[in-house]
A and B are shown apart, each in its own frame.
Chain A
Amino acid sequence: MATLTLSEDRYIELFGPTPTYAPAGGWDDRKPDRLVKTHCCFCGVQCGIQLKVKDNKVIGFEPWEEFPVNQGKLCPKGVKRYLQNGHPDRLLSPLVRTQTGFRHAGWDEALEKTAEAIGAIQSKHGKDAFAFLGGASMTNEKAYLNGEFARVALGTANIDYNGRLCMVSAGAANRMAFGVDRAANPWSDIPLAETLILAGTNIAECFPILTDYVWRARDNGAKIIVIDPRITPIARTADLFLPVRPGGDSALANGILHVLIERGWIDQIFIGQHTHDFDRVCDLVRKYNPAAAERITGVPARSIIKAAEIWGPAGTSMLLHARGIEHHTRGVENVLSYINLVLATGRLGKPGCGYGTITGQGNGQGGREHGQRCNQLPGGRDINNPDHRRFIADFWGVPETELPKQGLSACEMFDAIERGEIRGLMSISFNPLVSIPDANRTRAALEKLEFFCAIDFFLSETARYADVVLAGSLQEEDEGTVTTGEGRCVRLRNSVSPPGNARLDWRIICDLARRLGKGDCFGHTCAEEIFDELTAASKGGPIDYSGMTYARIEQNLGLFWPCPAPEHPGTPRLFADGRFHHSDGKARFHAFDYRPPAEDVDEDYPIFFTTGRVVSQYLSGTQTRRIGSLVDQYPEPLCEMHPLLANKLGIQDRDLVKVSTRRGEITVPAQIVKSIRPDVVFVPYHWPGKRAANQLTHRALDPISKIPEFKVCACRVEKVADATKKQNKQWQPKAFSAR
């Protein structure tokens, strides 16, 4: 039973978040000892950046203009990311839970305690009663090691990662359509496209660097179609904006395809030579005429026709999407419906022709490739495929029969904790209390755990519930690789060493494996050794890294997989030879009828609730809520609503409003803007506790990808009667002021 022992204020006093503004060592003498060329620790673009290092602290940055993807450009998070280093909240040694909070502990004690607890739970309740949760912000090396650790050292089937909350709908759909899970094109194809569809992707706030690629396409004359319930900054100057009603995506794609077929803007030769099942889609979309599609999607019929008129006759095109269409119980169906548009026009595998999901997390791509998912083994292998199982079992030197079967996905694990099936948990770089839907249930589950060990560099809101906290490493403290949203594997460089008694994450995993009696499989002495093992394990698999080495990646400023041989140049653009990765080389169409969201609006809860990000915060805010100037940029969640809705409810700008769903409520200031559909409210999700948007969301999962439906549920909004505006002082001009 792990209930909190301290007050919220006391936790904040001891462990933060403490917003810091000045670099370690202050502003005075920032002459660095050296500049380290590495990458940002945040989103899936993985911008190149040079970190300024002085006295084993990162004290600033300098743009790295030679790195081709971002050419020195950064978003505000990237600019201030250095402030996470030398931060007063940094965990410097292991912590052990006491009656009155935490006490510092030595590594031997903390690891021994953890190993004992794992042993006790597993011997009493079975191996699978102890679960492991990884993260997609970690390196490929750690993702690989997490998978091996869970399956070989813990012997549990229950390992998954927070990418389950991110882009798994796209991954599953990509495998179903193309037989491979990767963006089909490098970003450099974007400016070459004559038309772009950006579906449910808030590029300007979540992947700001890609904005320039979109604007360059526009400069070249491209028409831009944006699909979103909100006019996001990338939508502001779009040629065509389709304000889709939350959950209406597959119907919208079907509607556009209906017009494409009707007007003959499809590539019959491509369809015949390279695809299956177009007939089924044809039959299905017959009924999605523009008027019918308008009724479901809330997008005007004439705009649906216009979209087809732009997309259909174009010579080249790119379709990009992100969480907006993926965070649904029909996430996979939405993605596949949009992929149909790309396949029907046959525009793939050529310069300026393609498709991609934009991964949200730093290693959103690589983190989902090397075996830390419940259904996957290294090299993108399938844990249910006997040949794949045998290959990896032999590779690890364990009997295939001992290799666990498919386990539970991240959200399902919390349900299993509620049911008492999972008793112990280990997590690394994951803050589920903020990031998993239905936060009140997540909290109850954490309280129910018999043992919880968290590896992290800051004490996240979730880690407050831990029995043992192991002080791990920040991105800049380790060597390694990540694979960016375009499938480019890049090198992260160690800039500083972990402070105090903190340890590199992979060392912690190896240390713990030794204590669990599996040291022989975990004798790694450096990150490069793990990488070499990972690439060997991927050989011949669906995701083949076997031709990559650290030296080659550095030399080429990144290599794209598949890269199956030492002399192979990597594969920036997939399907260039017209072959897809299914065994017969053909892509698949999939026909899906529109189905409403799991929780539709009704009389009691008449307004759609949706969530997302703001540009100054990253994921659960574990890092970015500790950086003062990022906090100031958007200090608290606001509830965006259209003036039509606000007028109806008697709400004025910055009034406190209570937003409630069947699961919880949140009280936040209203932000009244004409840029959101009048039947939708939006609250960003980066904050914990009473400010957590995920108190309201629900755990309805996509049946295939197991992604939760963050992007739509039903809510009620009311003005808080006696609220005074004084409570919203944080939103007065303080932001951006000098400090």
Chain B
Amino acid sequence: MTSNHEFFIDPSRCIGCQACVQACGECETHRGVPMIHLDYVERAAGVQTAPVVCMHCEDPTCARVCPADAIKQDDRGVVLSAARPRCIACSNCVLACPFGVPKMQVRYDLMMKCDLCYDRTSAGRKPMCAAVCPSGALFFGPREDIEKSRREKPVNEFQFGRQRVRTKVNIMTAPDNDVLSIDIADFLPRETPDMHPRPGARPGAPDAADAAIWNEWNSGPAELATAPE
């Protein structure tokens, strides 16, 4: 049974493989249409990706702004996709959601979004995305289990300006990592030995997230192969 199961997202574990996207479409009621979002934060800068399911807010903004009262919440707190007979495809919810989750499916004139695999979770099965996620970035299970096994801690309260939002879905907060280097240049040898590690840098990882060292070098790849004598 999954009655004590909750949904947890840990972007630090995400590898961007899209298994969740591919599996989302496989939930019987989704009929090939994935509702989960997975994007690179900035591919040019690095490989960090972030999966986003519907956060299933306690007091869903999408439902509050819906003029047609098309967005319903069930007694477990699951916020459903817009009801087809009611949705007028106005996109109010798309604009209002603080997490950017609902999407207007123009083909169907209908807002569709993650419904926590309603047909699965209501029958005691895991949602597709969390069932398959190979890296554990998406986890559906008892809170004790995740608190016991992981270093990060779950949060489900978010502050957006003056709006505080409590959600059914939890985000795992990263361990104390102040600076995350993304440029491979930071890991390569450099010529200026007195450059001090940047405060907060992870041990052993880049100590100078600063492309300036490359400008100093002004060296292209051919030279790079032999330069650091």
Instruction: Known A215-B13, A239-B205; judge A208-B225 contact (CB<8 A).
Output: no
User: Interface stretch among B14-22, B56-64, B81-89, B90-98?
Assistant: B14-22
Count of interface residues, chain A, beta-carbon cutoff 8 Å: 79
CB interface residues, A 168-227, toward B, < 8 Å: 204-205, 208-209, 211-212, 215-216, 218-219
Chain A proximity mask over B30-49: 1 for CB below 8 Å, otherwise 0:
01111000100001111111
User: Interface stretch among A75-83, A657-665, A721-729?
Assistant: A75-83
CB interface residues, A 676-698, toward B, < 8 Å: 676-680
Instruction: State whether A236 touches B32 (Cβ < 8 A).
Output: no
User: Interface stretch among B72-80, B158-166, B177-185?
Assistant: B177-185
Return the chain B residue nearest A233 by Cβ.
B15
A4 within 8 A of B: no
Instruction: State whether A233 touches B204 (Cβ < 8 A).
Output: no
CA A219 to CA B13, docked complex, whole Å: 11
Instruction: Known A679-B224, A736-B21; judge A215-B135 contact (CB<8 A).
Output: yes
B196 within 8 A of A: no
Instruction: State whether A238 touches B205 (Cβ < 8 A).
Output: yes
A551 within 8 A of B: no
B222 within 8 A of A: yes
CB contacts (< 8 Å) of B38 on chain A: these are 736
* Cross-chain contact of A739 among B32, B48, B135, B183 (Cβ < 8 A): B32
For the complex formed, measure the closest distance between the CB of B202 and the CB atoms of chain A, giving whole angstroms.
Answer: 7
Instruction: State whether B132 touches A63 (Cβ < 8 A).
Output: yes
CA A633 to CA B132, docked complex, whole Å: 17
B28 within 8 A of A: yes
Instruction: Known A675-B46, A738-B107, A739-B32; judge A239-B185 contact (CB<8 A).
Output: no
Q: How large is the interface on B (under 10, 10 to 19, 20 to 34, 35 or more residues)?
A: 35 or more
For the complex formed, measure the closest distance between the CB of A189 and the CB atoms of chain B, giving whole angstroms.
Answer: 17
B99 within 8 A of A: no
Instruction: State whether A65 touches B131 (Cβ < 8 A).
Output: yes
Instruction: State whether B34 touches A736 (Cβ < 8 A).
Output: yes
CB contacts (< 8 Å) of A680 on chain B: these are 221
CA A237 to CA B48, docked complex, whole Å: 9
CB contacts (< 8 Å) of A230 on chain B: these are 184
B154 within 8 A of A: no
A234 within 8 A of B: yes
CB contacts (< 8 Å) of B13 on chain A: these are 211, 215
* Cross-chain contact of B18 among A298, A301, A615 (Cβ < 8 A): A615
Instruction: State whether B184 touches A677 (Cβ < 8 A).
Output: yes
Instruction: State whether B134 touches A674 (Cβ < 8 A).
Output: no
Contacts between the two chains (Cβ within 8 Å), count: 203
B189 within 8 A of A: yes
For the complex formed, measure the closest distance between the CB of A418 and the CB atoms of chain B, giving whole angstroms.
Answer: 32
A601 within 8 A of B: yes
Instruction: Known A205-B15, A243-B184; judge A606-B204 contact (CB<8 A).
Output: no
Instruction: Known A233-B47, A615-B18; judge A79-B136 contact (CB<8 A).
Output: no
Of the candidates A63, A65, A239, A674, the one having the most CB atoms from chain B within 10 angstroms of its own CB is A674
B220 within 8 A of A: yes
Return the chain A residue nearest B224 by Cβ.
A679
Instruction: Known A204-B135, A205-B15, A211-B134; judge A79-B47 contact (CB<8 A).
Output: no
* Cross-chain contact of A648 among B25, B220, B229 (Cβ < 8 A): B220
CB contacts (< 8 Å) of A78 on chain B: these are 19, 132
CA A204 to CA B47, docked complex, whole Å: 11
CA A292 to CA B150, docked complex, whole Å: 40
CB contacts (< 8 Å) of B222 on chain A: these are 601, 603, 606-607, 679
CB contacts (< 8 Å) of A349 on chain B: these are none
CA A215 to CA B222, docked complex, whole Å: 36
Return the chain A residue nearest B25 by Cβ.
A629
B105 within 8 A of A: yes
B199 within 8 A of A: no
CA A674 to CA B222, docked complex, whole Å: 18
Chain A proximity mask over B128-160: 1 for CB below 8 Å, otherwise 0:
000111111000000000000111000000000
User: Interface stretch among A156-164, A455-463, A578-586, A637-645?
Assistant: A637-645
Instruction: State whether B220 touches A76 (Cβ < 8 A).
Output: no
Return the chain B residue nearest A60 by Cβ.
B26
B126 within 8 A of A: yes
For the complex formed, measure the closest distance between the CB of A478 and the CB atoms of chain B, giving whole angstroms.
Answer: 24
Instruction: State whether B45 touches A72 (Cβ < 8 A).
Output: no
CB interface residues, A 228-263, toward B, < 8 Å: 230-234, 236-243, 245
CA A644 to CA B22, docked complex, whole Å: 35
CB interface residues, A 31-70, toward B, < 8 Å: 60-61, 63, 65, 70
Return the chain B residue nearest A212 by Cβ.
B136
* Cross-chain contact of B22 among A63, A76, A209 (Cβ < 8 A): A76
A326 within 8 A of B: no
For the complex formed, measure the closest distance between the CB of A669 and the CB atoms of chain B, giving whole angstroms.
Answer: 13
A74 within 8 A of B: yes
CA A239 to CA B203, docked complex, whole Å: 7
B212 within 8 A of A: no
For the complex formed, measure the closest distance between the CB of B104 and the CB atoms of chain A, giving whole angstroms.
Answer: 11
Instruction: State whether A298 touches B189 (Cβ < 8 A).
Output: yes
CA A218 to CA B137, docked complex, whole Å: 14
CB contacts (< 8 Å) of A677 on chain B: these are 184, 188, 224
Instruction: State whether A236 touches B47 (Cβ < 8 A).
Output: yes
CB contacts (< 8 Å) of A60 on chain B: these are 26
Instruction: State whether B221 touches A645 (Cβ < 8 A).
Output: yes
B12 within 8 A of A: yes
A residues at B contact (CB < 8 Å): 21-22, 27, 30, 60-61, 63, 65, 70, 72-76, 78-80, 204-205, 208-209, 211-212, 215-216, 218-219, 230-234, 236-243, 245, 294-295, 298-301, 303, 306, 310, 601, 603, 606-608, 615-616, 629-630, 633, 642-645, 648, 653, 671-680, 736, 738-739
In the assembled complex, 29 residue pairs joining A and B whose CB atoms fall closer than 8 Å, in A order, are A27-B32, A73-B134, A76-B22, A79-B22, A80-B22, A208-B135, A216-B136, A233-B49, A236-B46, A236-B47, A236-B48, A236-B182, A237-B12, A239-B204, A294-B228, A301-B189, A303-B204, A306-B204, A601-B222, A616-B18, A629-B22, A644-B185, A648-B220, A672-B44, A674-B182, A674-B185, A675-B47, A678-B224, A739-B33
**Interchain residue pairs A-B with the least CB separation, the first 6:** A204-B15, A679-B221, A606-B222, A233-B15, A240-B204, A208-B134
Besides A75-B132, A231-B182, A674-B185, 18 more A-B contacts (Cβ < 8 Å) are A63-B131, A65-B126, A74-B134, A75-B17, A204-B16, A204-B135, A211-B15, A215-B13, A219-B149, A231-B46, A233-B49, A603-B222, A607-B221, A633-B18, A648-B221, A673-B43, A678-B221, A739-B33
